[in-house]
Homo-oligomer: A and B are copies of this chain.
């Protein structure tokens, strides 16, 4: 069972504000829907050492690592080198990619095209016919393109490999200040290590509650039990509604 993942978003164009990242939000939603806990997102520049450091940390912390962006034919595409360095692997021509290129163009890759056939040694290609260019896997790292449309297509190749247990969310909306329930929430959070208790104050005029309490767990009974205990301990008129 896959339970956790980290995401590395690569690109100077993101950090400089020229392009807004759509891949982080997409992967956040989809991983959650697959029952996979997202442990960290790092948005990094096109720098080999930064990518190698972050991938190196995440590969040991999480079941899966997903990178987006920084693959292509130009000098600013350094994600594959970063992943290779994270594992101390060389970049080398991948026989299947070279063959694909030859079949498509009738000649061996040279110059910038050759870059597109270089992968960390031992990289595995994942494909199911479409999209034509495969998804690249190096150990527990899945290397995705930065173009959102292509990333989203390729994510369907990864989805069958992600089999987390789904999360169950209960929400309670309260009329009182967060400070009034802080001690109670802390006690419950400590007692139930398998339930993640969140508390989010709301300040916008027109919102019908002062704080939203979230209870989230892979175990739906545990989430329901904490919800029941919370309701029992709170004054009834503090509870605006629950979901």
Contacts and interface: CB of A to CB of B under 8 A. Distances in A.
Nearest to A45: B39
A199 B74 contact: yes
A175 B13 CA distance: 20
A19 to B, nearest CB: 8
A147 interface: yes
Contact of A41 (B12, B15, B112, B197): B15
A113 interface: yes
A182 B74 contact: yes
Contact of A72 (B72, B149, B178, B189): B178
Interface in A154-205: 167, 169, 178-183, 185-186, 189-190, 196-201, 203-204
Interface in A1-42: 12-21, 24-25, 28-29, 31-32, 37-42
Contacts of A214: 13, 18
Given A75-B186, A189-B76, A167 B32 contact: no
Contacts of A198: 12-13, 18, 76
A124 interface: no
A224 interface: no
B201 A72 contact: yes
Contacts of A238: none
Interface in A71-117: 72-76, 111-113, 115-116
Counting every copy of the chain, the complex holds 2
Most B CB contacts (10 A, CB to CB) among A21, A75, A150 go to A75
A43 interface: yes
Interface in A218-242: none
A201 B181 CA distance: 52
Given A74-B182, A147-B203, A179-B73, A42 B45 contact: no
A41 B115 CA distance: 28
B38 A15 contact: yes
A51 to B, nearest CB: 11
Given A39-B45, A40-B45, A76-B199, A182 B111 contact: yes
10 contacts: A13-B198, A13-B200, A15-B28, A15-B40, A16-B37, A16-B196, A18-B198, A41-B42, A116-B179, A149-B203
